[in-house]
Structure 1
């Protein structure tokens, strides 16, 4: 994708909008010019002083590509005999990529309207809340059910390095899907590479992004009523594990009650497959609720979620801390408080 014309236009327009800048000359660096690190050279006058900008234009604003471009851009500017302000231009720069630019002391501009530019006594900063559709689609793809199985395996122990084949086997997905997840994680610098394979080097950042983009698992949701409460409910639920059919897992507030209690709720939440849902209807004596429902069962379209469960007590199966955290965080203010409490108890890492 050649974004150079759009980048040139965006930079010229940005500078033209600033009254303090009196004269601007934006030129492309010719292909004959030893193809160092820059694509655009800008000569301008601001407050009566002349300045030069050196712009590198990259087709991807993913942090891994941004870091490499920043290193090259800094090296180019350092070797120039006269002062020059470096600026990086990309289609979109996330907050993480923008932070990288600030750390490298390099100005930036993206085609979504984010910009930061400083030279001499001049300073300009613009922030856009918009996120391009392609970026939103990429994040949704990374957190889809199959990809999520890979992420959950890695989040169990972020420092553990994985090669593609063992990770695919552990997550129950294809080699190709793991390769795609690997690329996405490395591009965002949420993962690193060692001699033993890929590991997570920013699990907190990954989980924060997942929380913001989270979509509950797809399935049919059913509301029921049971007269069982307290110990009677627990006894019926745990029952005879050998007689249990299908898959079931306590979810959301119900899972949190076993993992990291944070206040009680009058409703019990479950994920199940078709056979598991039938087991729950029988063992918990569930009846269809016209009102006053106190049991919510989601019959999942994709059973992959059941590959990542925990058993805090004999006969009690709960969604994993990561899945429980995500469900709680999407459950309103009270759920967010419970999610934060569970994260403190179970999901403590250092990026």
Structure 2
């Protein structure tokens, strides 16, 4: 069902209506084909870019939509309700644009940002490594100064849109220690850059996740974003926003599972009544609905704090934790509502359940979110 949203402006309401129209026309009819075949939806992100959905939170002067996070996240949720992989990739693209916008020079922004926000250049976020996931300070991929730029050597891992993206927000070591990581706007095609085979994932099959192998690729000096050694500051400044993006995606996924379960329960009969009229099933669906509504309220609270310039790091971790745990629980319950049919691929709830699991892992595992929240309480 379409969520009855409380939006701040008529413009925002029009944007949500446009998003629903595009999602119903371009995403919903294609999701099963691409997820089952594990094929990339060529041209789809360009369509989203032309509609203005890939630069919503950035200023109009660079081609963005100048929308508050409160609205942007609800757009993500609408996309995720139809196709979680596309919504996650949209969130990652927005995250990948952040270092350039927030820390780049004016010349760098004028050169690269308009194409990124228009969807002419799709981005990936390259922070993790095989032995450095949540522990970003232990990165080993190196960017060594050479004449006119930096030579990059090392392996990066878990890159959404790996091998498909046109640019990557790349974090590599330029000096020892926690202050030795720097950020680069790396091109997607460079001599000495190759990508591994797509990971054989449990879900989100339509958008590849890969490793990247940097074998002495040289980046021009103007590809450095911010100052040398500022990389972890840049990475962490973006991650709070990225966590909100995943929270919204998880809520959309949970909403999709709830919608499917409710529709099935209204049609399926047992013992002479619709199964939704049996209290055991009706109460389970009521708990699912309450959980989805609560998750949405949680990410919107964090977004509104961000939009008003208030601290929101703890609230972002709370939202990521609550929304992704909710998605896991609601999608599991949706399989239960459908019974044996829920365990088959004839209905999408088994896919929703598989897709929900990763939401608890990326952008910082939920154990890391609990660590962030507990440290905030102890401060």
Higher relative CO (Cα under 8 Å, sequence separation at least 6) belongs to 2
> TM exceeds 0.5?
no
Greater strand content:
1
TM-score (norm. length: structure 1): 0.26
Scaled by the length of structure 2, the TM-score of the pair is: 0.25
The structure having more radius of gyration, on CA atoms, is: 1
- Name the structure with the higher helix share: 2
